[in-house]
Amino acid sequence: MDVPELLESASLLVPEETATENDVTVRDVWDHLVHDEWEIALGLLEEFGDDRPLPLAFWEKLADAADQLRLERSAAWCHWRCSEIRNGMVRADLTLRPAAEARRKTPISGAGVLRPMWDIGHLSPTGERAVGIARLWVEDRPSLAPGERATVRLVPLTPSHWTHVRPGRQITMHEDRTVAGTAVVLEVHRPSTAVPA
C-alpha cells in the first residue's frame, strides 16, 4: 500500500464519533488526505490513539506510512505502540538518580532504545533479587538526564513476569547492580488477548 492508502485505511479504524482534545475528527484527517497533506494526517491520526485504545492494525498502518515518509520519530512511536499492544505497557513516574550519585552521567534516549532491568519484586529460586527487562519510552521528551523526572512507558520483554505489577507500586531501574532510578507505577495495560505474545 502507498502512504495515502495506509492513512485512509487507518482512519477507517477510528470510530467516526471520536474527537481529540482539540476537537479534531476523522473528517479533518480526510480533508488533509484530499490535499495530499500526509504528514499532518499522520500526526492527527497518532493523536486519536492517545485518547482511546485502537487496534494493532491501526498502529501497523501508521508505522508503515511513517516509514515510507521517512519520519523516524513518528515511525518509532507507531512501532512502539504496536509493541505495547502485543506485550502490554506499564506507565510510570520515573526519577533518575543524579549524576553525582549514579553510574550514568549522560541522558537516556527517550525513544524506546534503552532496555534497562527493573526490580519489580521477583526473587530467584536462591532468594536473590530477580529483575525484569522492559524497554523505556519517555513521554513528550527526546531524552531524560540524570536527576530529572518524567512520565515513562515500559514495554516488558517477558510480559508474564509483570502480571503482579499494579498502580501505586514502586519499582527501581537498574543498568547494572546499582539503582539508576526509582519509578511509581501509574497505569498497567495487559497485552491484547487478540494478539499472540
Mean pLDDT to the nearest integer, 47-69: 92
pLDDT on residue 195: 46
Question: 128: pLDDT confidence band, cut at 50, 70 and 90?
Answer: confident
Kindly state whether residues 106 and 51 are assigned to the same domain: no
Which of the two residues, 63 and 49, has the higher pLDDT score?
A: 63
pLDDT for residue 154: 98
> With b meaning 16 or more CB within 10 Å and e meaning fewer, what string describes 74-108?
bbbbbbbbbbbbbbbbbbbebebbeeeebebeebb
Name the least confident of 74-78, 113-117, 123-127, 185-189. 123-127
In a domain, 197, yes or no: no
Are 100 and 179 contained in the same domain? yes
CA proximity to 172, closest of 190, 154, 191: 154
Domain that holds residue 106: 88-189
pLDDT above 80 for 41: yes
pLDDT band at 194 (very low <50, low <70, confident <90, very high): low
Backbone angles phi, psi at 43, to 5 degrees: -60, -40
Domain total for the chain? Answer: 2
- Do 101 and 163 sit in the same domain of this protein? yes
CB 144 within 8 A of CB 94: yes
Whether the Cβ atoms of residue 14 and residue 42 lie closer than 8 Å to each other? no
Q: Domain check: are 101 and 171 in the same one?
A: yes
Let me know whether 75 and 127 are in one domain.
no
- The predicted pLDDT at position 1 comes to 82
Looking at the fold, whether 101 and 173 belong to one and the same domain comes out as yes
State whether 41 and 14 are in the same domain: yes
Joined together, the cell numbers standing for residue 20 give: 481529540
Same domain, 95 and 181: yes
Q: What is the DSSP string of 69-82?
A: HT-HHHHHHHHHHH
Question: What is the rounded CA–CA span in Å between residue 60 and residue 18?
Answer: 20
Residue that terminates a domain, selected from 86, 108, 137:
86
Does 79 lie in the same domain as 93?
Answer: no
